[in-house]
Amino acid sequence: MNNRKKKVIRTAVMTAICVLMITGVAFASGTNARAGVAIKAGVDFPGKLDIQQDNDDVTMKMHAGFSGAVEYAVGYSSLFSFGGGISGQYPHPVNGDINGRLGFAEGYGLVNFTAPAVIDNIDVYSSLQLGWSYPYADSTFKNNFANASFTGDVYWGAAAGVVLYRHYLVEVFYKAHHGELEQDDDISEFEHRHFGMAVGYQF
């Protein structure tokens, strides 16, 4: 495993610890409200794309866009639920030296920490996702990289939100999608990172 991947995984683990500790301090005990099947629709805020072009590392803006996810979690205790999910983006426009649209699809495992709310029928939760990301792009984007192919790499995300009346979800999240660009004998990694907000329904 190269140093970049080690750094990504280390960052994800530290983020998870911080999110869980902050939520745990705020709420001493809780009822697990994040178990079941959840369908989410989200808005990805403008973010950054780090990629290599002509042997130079460049950072460009990726515009806002839409995404969706389906998750399933099983309650392990009153505080934790574990499960997995799949998510995908509608390809986002890239603004910079590289034009076109780029999106990512993910499969991931997840852990949710739930806590009791001060108000009835409102539960607070935090979540960590860790899995594998696969990039896809339109022909305009691909034309910036001659004889290149795109492959998957590590994905991680963290979120915090509320469950309303046991079914309705509102959350904010941060996601880091990774991929690999293979050109001839050269392999370089690229990353799209951004914040966002989602709403959903939990069965």
Confidence (pLDDT) at 23: 44
pTM tops 0.85? no
Residue range 2-22: average pLDDT? 54
Place of tokens 């697990």: 32
Residue 116, token pair as written in the block: 């009791």
196/4: higher pLDDT: 196
pLDDT of 22 over the 60 cut: no
Residue range 127-134: average pLDDT? 96
Confidence (pLDDT) at 20: 47
Residue 23, token pair as written in the block: 């939520």
Model confidence band, residue 27 (pLDDT cutoffs 50, 70, 90) = very low
Chain center to CA of 22: 20
Alpha carbons 53 and 139: distance in angstroms, whole number = 16
Residue 191, token pair as written in the block: 């990353």
Residues 6 or more apart whose CB falls under 8 angstroms from that of 161 comprise 124, 125, 126, 127, 169, 170, 171, 172, 198
Which domains are seen in the chain, by residue range?
Answer: 3-202 (2.40.160.20)
Place of tokens 């990774």: 178
Alpha carbons 175 and 159: distance in angstroms, whole number = 9
What number of other Cβ atoms are within 10 A of residue 33's Cβ?
27
